[in-house]
Amino acid sequence: MILAAATLLGLALCGAACAGDHLYARDDHVQEYMGIREQPRVPLRPPHRPLIWGDLNIIHTTDTHGWLLGHQKLSWAEPYYSGDLGDFSSFVTHMKRIAIEKDVDLLLIDSGDLHDGTGLSDGYHGGVDAHESNKFVGRLPYDLMTIGNHELYVYADTYDMYTNFIPHLGGRYLTSNVNITIFDSDGKSESVPVGNRYAKFTTRKGRRITSLGVIFNFTGNVANTTVQTVHDMVNEQWFVEAIAEEPDAFVLIGHMPVSYDSWPTVFNAVRAVHPLTPILIFGGHTHIRDCQQYDGRSMGIESGRYMETIGWMSADLDAAKGKHDNITFTRRYLDQNRVTYEYHTHTSKYAFDTINGRSITYGLQELAARYDLSYLYGTAPQDYTLSQNPYPSNGSLLSLFIDHAVPYALAINNTRDSIPNIIIINSWALRSDLFKGSFTRNDQLTVMQYKDTFLYIANVASGIASQILPALNNPPAMKQKRDETEDELSRKTRDGAWLEEIDDRPGVDRREATSDKWTFGYVTKDSCPNAGHADDTLHTALPYYPAPYYIGSNPPNVTADTPVDVVFLNYLGEEIIPILNRLQKNKKYTMDDVSLYSPMLTSDVLGLYAQAKWN
């Protein structure tokens, strides 16, 4: 029996290698990791009821941001998101089999933001962000994918998607309102869609589907890419022609929130032509679990972030065909772990893995080893969180970063270290909690992957400098900031509002619940029917504490007229200078007064601090 199992595993790995994977399972770390995959390191509560299948069913991912090895820490609620992309691949394979047995359709869909998030996407040595990690995403049988804003910050990333990733989707990677400028051998430029404007296809059961892929009205894209507004897109002739023929269902995907954004613009344009055609919408960007029904024959869901959540939607289309009746939809938000997957696929922990799933896991582990992501900086003595602890506090990651880590790192080999300073950053620059235990290169990139620099303005009176942070955080300034951008600030706003709403819910959902049947995790109440029953696994909500958008270091103990350095992240200068000019009239500040404070990058700060303080 043991020999047979070993032979089968050997054949599986050989098959994957022959398919072009570079899998090196000899590494001790890889072997140890694979040895524990079948058994969760901590007990996990399974889903509380089976999924409801319809005629048309969809598995949805969004905002995965490179979290392809899942969440590997033991602090709650991380173990509930501990599955990796190989596990998810096995899950999809089993679900496709079940769909055939039930004789129904099942689609796999993603709503963008594959880039920027963990060492797998950002830990490359040379090359292009997420080029290697996306190869593993490309091995899953996605029926539809679309672009996110994090595919549009760097031209090389967009071009890599255009040339290397998208062609494998066979016309199913949709960018209805996003173009890229490419250049021929003569240097002549041409603006073309990054993917396809739309797709029309027929499912296994013969259903005719029309799909679009839309991003919100994003303005932070890099030069040589173009994002058209959603309003302008729906007035294009190609759009009118694309939706003219009635399909059995419109399946609309986009990197755009299903609430409080531009989906109604797209929805209303389709409804004006097809008043009764079923419309299924799959959104993203705000990193939350959410659902909206725009009318009785439509539903839109958003399925979280960071491979914590797998979305599920089902629709009974046949029962409502040719009628004006409301369509019966269901939706579910699945915790991304093997217990969830085994429960819904009716498999045991030893029979769950598929050949492709196992080889993806091996390949991701090899990539992590190649990027040296397990390099240890130090051992964190406790959890430091973005929102589970108040700011400021000992458990706040924001406090740790701005009060301790940044001042320490910026003092290294800095000739201005003896001059008092005030350091200002935006709190949403930090992307993930920092958990107790090993703090590795992967953790460093996960918590703060952006390579931003620190600039400064010299000789600002302390009394004036101390007023900059409150001015940045005052309500009128924040309203203007929200009006100007629908990117990271809006994502943080909605993500935070959702988590705060979860934490404020009374009754058994509160974290004070003591019954052993409640475990920490997401507790979602969205806007669709049966609002309290969308989560696949029952949880007690984690605590949530709001934090200001901008945070600053502890002010120096000096008099109000003492000259200090005002230090800030490189992209905050244009916000800080107008404030300085309002607070005083002795000098008219411009960007000419701004200089580089240190060659230190934000992505290096926590690693240097951990090496010095946590060893």
User: Are residue 407 and residue 340 in the same domain, yes or no?
Assistant: no
DSSP-derived 3-state class of residue 304: coil
Q: Return the closest-CA partner of residue 195 out of 165, 153, 218.
A: 165
Amino acid identity, position 90: S
Q: Report yes or no: 147 and 213 within 8 Å, Cβ to Cβ.
A: yes
167 vs 147: CA distance, rounded Å: 14
333-369 pLDDT tens trace: 999 999 999 999 999 988 999 999 999 999 999 999 9
Give me the number of domains the chain comprises: 2
**Is 279 inside a domain boundary?**
yes
Chain Cα centroid distance, residue 419: 39
Q: How confident is the model at residue 322 (pLDDT cuts 50, 70, 90)?
A: confident
pLDDT tens digits, one per residue of 88-142: 999 999 999 999 999 999 999 999 999 999 999 999 888 899 999 999 999 999 9
Q: In the chain, count of helices (H) and strands (E)?
A: 21, 24
Considering the domain architecture, whether residues 332 and 391 belong to the same structural domain is answered as no
Neighbours of 435 (CB within 10 A): 22
How is residue 371 written in tokens?
């990027």
Q: Over the stretch 374-431, which tens digit does the pLDDT of each residue have?
A: 999 999 999 999 999 999 999 999 999 999 999 999 999 999 999 999 999 999 889 9
Look at residues 370, 400, 421 and tell me which one is the last residue of a structural domain.
370
Find out whether the peptide bond into 392 is cis, omega within 30 degrees of 0: yes
Cα-atom radius of gyration of the chain, to the nearest Å? Answer: 25
Domain extent for 294: 2-370
- E-strand stretches of 274-372: 279-283, 289-292, 298-303, 309-315, 329-335
Which residue among 342, 370, 398 closes a domain? 370
Same domain, 363 and 386: no
* pTM for the model: 0.88
CATH of residue 275's domain is 3.60.21.10
Domain boundary among 370, 387, 418: 370
Residues found in the chain: 615
pLDDT at 321: 84
What are the two backbone dihedrals, phi and then psi, of residue 171, each rounded to the nearest 5 degrees? Answer: 85, 5
Between 493 and 389, whose confidence is greater? 389
Map residue 483 onto helix, strand or coil: helix
Alpha helices in 169-217 (DSSP H): none
Task: Please tell me whether residues 52 and 190 are part of one structural domain.
Answer: yes
